[in-house]
Amino acid sequence: MCKFYFTLIINNLHIEMGKIKIEDFLALALNFPVFDVRSPGEYGHAHIPGAHNLPLFTDEERKLVGTAYKQQSREQAIKLGLDYFGPKMRRMVEEVEEIVRNNKQHDSGDNANCVLVHCWRGGMRSSGVAWLLDLYGFKVYTLAGGYKSFRRWVLHQFENPYQFTVLGGYTGSGKTEVLKELSKAGNKVLDLESIACHKGSAFGGLGEDKQPSQELFENKLALALDMLSIEDNIWVEDESQSIGTVNLPKAIYNNMQQSPGYFLAIPFEERLNYIVKEYGKFTKEELIAPIMRIQKRLGGQNTKNAVNALIEGDIKESFRTLLAYYDKYYERSLEKRDKRLSTIICEVVDAHTHGKKLAGKI
């Protein structure tokens, strides 16, 4: 396959057309569209956040080409792949053209036709699509090592010595809203629950988008960390290692456990009122389901009390039982921390006031 090289200067970044390393690829991805040419199944499992799926093969076609490669020959696999690729060429070009056209609304300069392409290992799939798009007139860059190199980069991010400041507090303290206030005030914040699409408790999935796969969660987390600096003081909410169905990388969780921070000490009744307001909008059925998921830990009598109170329309009494359980659960996690959190006495749940108070601590 012919390779065309030229020098592109974007934000003082000099890159030759062709395969580029992951750091340069991600720098360009901030301004230009990324096309993941892996199959829909591969993309659906996990991908570079923000990338568009432009599959060279369907899941079944990929399986057949792979079988031909293993059982027959490389040449036979390529021929079979060309049979699948040929009829899709025009559609693929037009799909990229439409996305690039929309992207030009944000970048109308000389580099507006720049596109980034990758497959699994930076092999024939990305090379084939890059050839087609280059032939049509796009400025094409492919990722050396493909998605596998991105995953190596992702896992490396978690080993960096980030300086976390942990925000703790019992359930119903409004910690997420406090983080938002800190961010508004110019503080660096890592919102783990937003990345996980889950608020952490058994009820944390209510009103949220579907949670990402573990791998996609890690990808999103790594990119969020990359937007920060190891020199920054980064506010992060005190979380257990699992947030819904995803888990924090061990290195990040251990870092958080060893980091200093602050504990918002807010009266039980104030937090209870906050929780009722936040979750009272959901139906009885929506609230009962998560209660049943934790019934073994909650205990038979507490489960019965919480469910019966909901059925009778007494949401506050139901949540009173649940909040007492979560307070005990969180107390145990505080005891296991490697570093204690400094307590800040608060009379009410007030994100704006607490945010201002904490901002002055750093």
CATH number at residue 263: 3.40.50
**Residues 143, 170 within the same domain:** no
| Residue 8 scores a pLDDT above 60 | no
Per-residue pLDDT tens for 15-74? 444 899 999 999 999 999 999 999 999 999 999 999 999 999 999 999 999 999 999 999
Residues 125, 117: Cα–Cα separation, whole Å: 10
Residue type, 197: C
pTM of the model: 0.90
197 is catalytic: no
**The two three-digit tokens of residue 28, written as one number:** 């360009």
**Residues 290, 255 within the same domain:** yes
Domains in the chain, number: 2
pLDDT of residue 108: 52
**Residues 299, 340 within the same domain:** yes
Q: Is residue 322 included in any domain, yes or no? A: yes
| Final residue in a domain of this structure, among 127, 154, 181 | 154
Q: Is residue 2 included in any domain, yes or no? A: no
Please calculate the CA angle 88-94-100 and round it to the nearest 5 degrees.
135
Is 316 exposed, middle or buried, given 0-12, 13-18 or 19+ CB atoms closer than 10 A? middle
**CA-closest candidate to residue 346, choices 357, 333, 332, 335:** 357
Residues 144, 349: Cα–Cα separation, whole Å: 50
pLDDT of residue 105: 59
What's the per-residue H, E or C state across the chain? CCCCCCEEEECCEEEECEEECHHHHHHHHCCCCEEECCCHHHHHHCCCCCCEECCCCCHHHHHHHHHHHHHCCHHHHHHHHHHHHHHHHHHHHHHHHHHHHHHCCCCCCCCCCEEEEECCCCCHHHHHHHHHHHHHCCEEEEECCHHHHHHHHHHHHCCCCCEEEEEEECCCCCHHHHHHHHHHCCCEEECHHHHHCCCCCCCCCCCCCCCCCHHHHHHHHHHHHHCCCCCCEEEEECCCCEECCEECCHHHHHHHHCCCEEEEECCHHHHHHHHHHHHCCCCHHHHHHHHHHCHHHHCHHHHHHHHHHHHCCCHHHHHHHHHHHHHHHHHHHHHHCCCCCEEEECCCCCHHHHHHHHHCCC
| Final residue in a domain of this structure, among 154, 174, 202 | 154
Q: Is residue 1 included in any domain, yes or no? A: no
Q: Pick the catalytic residue: 2, 114, 119, 346?
A: 119
**Residues 30, 128 within the same domain:** yes
| Residue 202 scores a pLDDT above 90 | no
**What integer best gives the mean pLDDT of the chain?**
90
| Final residue in a domain of this structure, among 154, 184, 216 | 154
Per-residue pLDDT tens for 267-308? 999 999 999 999 989 999 999 999 999 898 889 999 999 999
Per-residue pLDDT tens for 108-150? 555 678 999 999 998 899 999 999 999 999 999 999 999 999 9
**Residues 24, 173 within the same domain:** no
pLDDT of residue 201: 84
Q: Is residue 115 included in any domain, yes or no? A: yes
Per-residue pLDDT tens for 145-190? 999 999 999 999 999 999 999 999 999 999 999 999 999 999 999 9
Comparing 4-18, 39-53, 227-241, the range with the smallest average pLDDT is 4-18
User: Containing domain of residue 176, as a range?
Assistant: 165-359
Q: What is the CATH number of the domain that holds 92?
A: 3.40.250.10
pLDDT of residue 13: 42
Structural contact between residues 180 and 351, judged by C-beta atoms closer than 8 angstroms: yes
